Amino acid sequence: MNILGISSFYHDSAAALIVDGQIIAAAQEERFSRKKHDHRFPHQAIEYCLSEVQLTPYQLDHVVFYDKPFVKFERLLETYLAYAPYGFRSFLQAIPLWIKEKLWIPDIIQKELDYAGSILFSDHHDSHAASAFFPSPFSSAAIMTIDGVGE
């Protein structure tokens, strides 16, 4: 089973390739673009990951995005509403970006990867926990995620 993980459109875009449960490759886009904290779609990181085992996007079983955009958007709107009128300037900056880009993640992935297969979404903080647990030597662990954003 070939799974490509993608993080993008916030900061430090990255990709990871898992083949039959093993991490084959993982990289941040900034390593290729030379742009610190590059947030753009990680084309070069994906290309690197797939090239490690000569896969094409057509051979992927799933593409997994690191959070759930609609759940995060709902949380964002609830927060803006709860604190209004504070945060109105931030609201004016954030909402157009969400409408233009972040709510269209499946379409962007399909277009950028030329991929028509399964796209899955994991919880933001589960993604953090998984990135710590699965490369660790432990068979079980308690994980606490402390983060500034998420769903």
Catalytically active residues are: 11
Q: How far apart are CA 105 and CA 124, in angstroms?
A: 14
Phi–psi pair at 45, nearest 5 degrees: -65, -40
Q: Is the peptide bond preceding residue 85 cis, with omega within 30 degrees of 0?
A: yes
What is the x/- site pattern for Fe ion, positions 91-130, by CB under 5 A?
Answer: ----------------------------------------
Beta strands at 14-19 and 118-121: parallel, antiparallel or unpaired = unpaired
Q: How far is the CB of 127 from Fe ion (least distance, A)?
A: 8
Exactly one of 53, 66, 147, 151 binds Fe ion (CB under 5 A); which one? Answer: 147
Q: How far is the CB of 39 from Fe ion (least distance, A)?
A: 13
Q: How far is the CB of 126 from Fe ion (least distance, A)?
A: 11
Give first-to-last CA distance, the chain, whole Å.
28
Instruction: Give the binding site for Fe ion (CB under 5 A).
Output: 147
